[in-house]
């Protein structure tokens, strides 16, 4: 079994700003969503694990006290 993973937020100058530890071994695809984009959702993978634990292969939810996200920009096509 691997070590638990984490989601890391980096500052604009590349330094580690915040770390959210996960009980999962393979945390994947983090996204900020919900009201005010202040909730962190992330999936986790079970593939390739010899002995997955309870949280592997689940959706993880964490309230973000560090910062909120922004709405996604809509793609309107390529400019010529």
- Percentage of the chain beyond pLDDT 90 is 5
**Residue 43 falls inside a structural domain:** yes
**Residue 80 falls inside a structural domain:** no
The pLDDT, as a whole number, for residue 71 is 79
Q: Examine the pLDDT at 52 and tell me if it is beyond 80.
A: no
Q: Examine the pLDDT at 37 and tell me if it is beyond 80.
A: yes
Q: pTM of this prediction?
A: 0.66
State the residue range of the domain holding 11.
6-63
Q: Examine the pLDDT at 15 and tell me if it is beyond 90.
A: yes
CA 33 to chain centre: 11
Cα separations in angstroms, 37 against 2, 40, 46, 61, 70: 30, 8, 27, 12, 6
> Would you say 44 and 58 are in contact if contact means Cβ atoms under 8 Å apart?
yes
Question: Residue 37: helix, strand or coil by DSSP?
Answer: helix
Here the tokens at position 67 are 């910062």
The pLDDT, as a whole number, for residue 13 is 95
**Residue 78 falls inside a structural domain:** no
**Total count of domains within the chain:** 1
Q: Examine the pLDDT at 65 and tell me if it is beyond 70.
A: no
**Residue 1 falls inside a structural domain:** no
């Amino acid at each position: 079994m691997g070590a638990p993973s984490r989601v890391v937020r980096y500052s604009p100058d590349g330094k580690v700003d915040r770390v959210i530890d996960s009980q999962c071994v393979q945390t994947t695809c983090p996204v900020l969503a919900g009201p005010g984009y202040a909730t962190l959702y992330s999936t986790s993978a079970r593939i390739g694990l010899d002995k997955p634990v309870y949280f592997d292969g689940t959706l993880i939810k964490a309230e973000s006290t560090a910062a909120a996200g922004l709405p996604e920009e809509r793609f309107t096509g390529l400019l010529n």
